Each structure stands twice: as structure tokens, then as C-alpha cells.
């Protein structure tokens, strides 16, 4: 009968796609990890990974086994922590938008760390579309992402956490003539666009469509932070999400303008598999936003 340690090794290999990478996380040799996986496959009488010289990839049987093994590990860890006041401990691997780390999600993590000092959160910053693939593959326990414009796979669950309105930002000291009317400003001013291939980029397209304007294309970037920095320096205007808990209204170099009659929201939520071993943590995150998060500062 395979041990819980073997099941954890299986999940670590599935996450990394490599015996060597899994071994580095667990603290074993790659050969020892390989022996554990081989013993597990023999015990279950089925091959779980397709092996090559550079990687090991879950085959259909392995993918089917992941939810059941995650459930076993989850139940064991819950049993091991029975009777302890602080049952939320260990390492959680998460992805998050950089903009989320600047605002509301950073507050949530701080609150959870204060309440659960034995909790260790490893964070990776990146793009929503990349995180969706990594969560589905089991490389991440969860990720804070924008709502996908496409239908997600059936084994993924997205829970909304908070909304951010899409707003027009303009410099207070532009290097160009800036009309007072926001729609006219969009037509005439150099426009710094958020990458149109991203999920947030789709929202920018929606705003421009509703405003019925064609912009003067300047640069195209995939970072809200970089766009804000360029607008502050007076090089153009942009449409971006008004980041929750980031008080742009006090910014002496930046002006935030709500476009009249246009209400487009960026919905930020928690993406996770429908069953995984860190559901206690993700439930705490959702409870923080749905029950305890203070009102967001407006423009």
C-alpha cells in the first residue's frame, strides 16, 4: 500500500513535470523520486506518466488519478491537524497579477499570515491566461486572475473576489495638447494600450467600442504599472482598471477620469481546481473578500 509520502511525491512530480525538480522541492534525489513513482505505478497496476529524456508528463490515467490522490492527502492532513487551534499551515503555491499584489489581494494575504503564522505562501506574478494553464496542470494551488473572456475547463472554478472599474488616466503635465473632454482626449491624444491579447486587454477594447472612438495608437504594454508610469511622465493617456486600494486620487502627476455613460468592470477572482489539497486556504481568501474586506477607496 503506497504511503501518504508517496502520494505527495506523485503530486509534486505532476506539478513540476520533472523528477529532478520534484526532488529539489521534497529533499530527495531524482532517483529516489523515480523509485517512488515506479512503486506507486506497480501498486496501482497502471502507468501514470509519459516519460522522455527531459520531462515526465501525466498521461490520461495520471490526470484521472490526481483528484483522488489530492483528496487522500487533503483528508490525511486534516486528520493530522485535528485538535489544533490553527489548522491552516504549510506551503501554498499561488499565482497573482502584479496589480493584485499592489492592492486588495496583498491586504488579504497579510491578514491571513497574521491569523495563521505557520502558513507559508509562495507567490508567482504573471498574466491571467498563463496562470489558468498552470492551475489546471496542478503547478499552482490557485491564482488571482481576471475573469476569462472564454469558457474555462470544467475542472476549474473561478470565484469573483472584487471589481475594478475601467477608467481613463491622463497626465497632469502632458507633453501634448490634452482636450478637456474625455472622449475627445481619447480621439486626439497618444494612447498607451494594455496588451490586447490579454484578458484585461479585451476590456480595454470593450471600453473603446462603447465610446465609439478610434485612438491614436502609441505603445502597447502588458503591465498596468508600466502604463501608469508612462502616463505620469506625460507621454500619453490610457484606459486601465482602477486598482483596488491604490489611491490614485492623491497622485500629483496623474488624473483619473470616469468615462461618462460607460461602465466596464474588471472582475478579479480566485481560480482553482474544483478539488485540491489547499481548499481550506482558498476558502479563507474568499471569506476575507466576501465578508470582511473594507470598502474600496474611490477616485
Structural domains in the chain, sorted by start: 1-69 (1.10.10.10), 163-265 (3.40.190.10)
- Is pTM, for the whole model, over 0.85? no
Min mean pLDDT across 11-25, 38-52, 54-68, 72-86 is at 72-86
Q: pLDDT confidence of 45, banded at 50, 70, 90?
A: very high
State the cell numbers at 147. 475573469
Q: Cβ(211)–Cβ(264) under 8 Å?
A: no
Is the pLDDT reported for residue 108 higher than 90? Answer: no
In this predicted model, what pLDDT tens digit does every residue of 111-164 receive, in sequence order? 888 888 888 888 888 888 888 888 887 778 899 999 988 888 888 999 999 899
Q: What is the pLDDT of residues 234-262, one digit of tens each?
A: 999 999 998 876 778 788 999 999 888 99
| Mean pLDDT, rounded, of the chain | 86
Per-residue HEC secondary structure of 61-116 comes to HHHHHHHHHHHHHHHHHHHHCCCCCCCCCEEEEEEECHHHHHCHHHHHHHHHHHHC
Burial class of 12 by CB neighbour count within 10 A (0 to 12, 13 to 18, 19+) = buried
Distance of CA 149 to the CA centre of its chain: 15
Give CA–CA dist 166/164, Å, rounded.
7
pLDDT in tens, 273-286: 887 778 888 999 99
User: What pLDDT shows up at residue 221?
Assistant: 93
Comparing CA positions, the residue from 191, 194, 144 lying closest to residue 166 is: 194
Beta bridge partners of 119: 90
Lowest mean pLDDT among 192-196, 244-248, 262-266, 292-296: 292-296
Is pLDDT above 60 for 293?
A: no
Higher local confidence (pLDDT), 91 or 7: 7
SS3 222: coil
Confidence check: pLDDT of 179 > 80: yes
pLDDT score, position 89: 74
Amino acid at each position: 500500500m503506497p504511503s501518504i509520502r508517496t502520494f505527495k511525491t506523485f503530486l509534486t512530480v505532476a506539478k513540476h513535470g520533472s523528477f529532478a525538480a520534484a526532488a529539489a522541492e521534497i529533499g530527495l534525489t531524482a532517483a529516489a523520486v523515480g523509485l517512488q513513482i515506479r512503486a506507486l505505478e506497480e501498486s496501482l497496476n497502471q502507468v501514470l506518466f509519459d516519460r522522455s529524456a527531459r520531462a515526465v508528463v501525466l498521461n490520461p490515467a495520471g490526470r484521472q488519478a490526481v483528484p483522488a490522490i489530492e483528496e487522500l492527502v487533503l483528508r490525511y492532513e486534516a486528520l493530522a491537524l485535528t485538535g489544533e487551534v490553527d489548522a491552516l499551515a504549510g506551503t501554498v503555491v499561488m499565482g497573482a497579477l502584479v496589480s493584485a499584489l499592489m492592492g486588495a489581494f496583498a491586504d488579504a494575504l497579510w491578514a491571513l499570515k497574521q491569523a495563521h503564522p505557520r502558513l507559508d505562501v509562495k507567490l508567482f506574478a504573471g498574466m491571467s491566461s498563463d496562470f489558468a494553464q498552470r492551475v489546471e496542470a496542478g503547478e499552482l494551488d490557485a491564482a488571482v486572475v481576471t475573469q476569462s473572456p472564454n469558457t474555462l475547463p470544467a475542472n476549474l472554478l473561478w470565484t469573483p473576489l472584487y471589481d475594478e472599474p475601467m477608467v481613463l488616466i491622463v497626465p497632469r503635465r502632458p507633453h501634448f495638447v490634452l482636450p478637456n473632454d474625455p472622449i475627445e482626449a481619447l480621439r486626439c491624444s497618444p494612447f498607451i494600450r494594455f496588451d490586447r491579447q490579454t484578458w484585461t486587454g479585451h476590456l480595454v477594447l470593450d471600453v473603446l467600442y462603447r465610446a465609439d472612438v478610434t485612438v491614436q495608437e502609441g505603445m502597447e504594454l502588458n503591465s498596468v504599472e508600466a502604463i501608469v508610469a508612462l502616463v505620469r511622465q506625460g507621454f500619453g493617456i490610457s484606459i486601465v482598471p482602477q486598482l483596488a486600494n491604490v489611491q490614485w486620487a492623491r497622485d500629483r502627476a496623474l488624473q483619473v477620469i470616469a468615462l461618462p455613460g460607460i461602465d466596464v468592470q474588471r472582475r478579479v477572482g480566485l481560480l482553482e481546481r474544483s478539488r485540491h489539497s489547499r481548499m481550506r486556504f482558498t476558502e479563507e481568501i474568499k471569506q476575507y473578500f466576501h465578508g470582511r474586506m473594507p470598502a474600496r477607496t474611490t477616485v
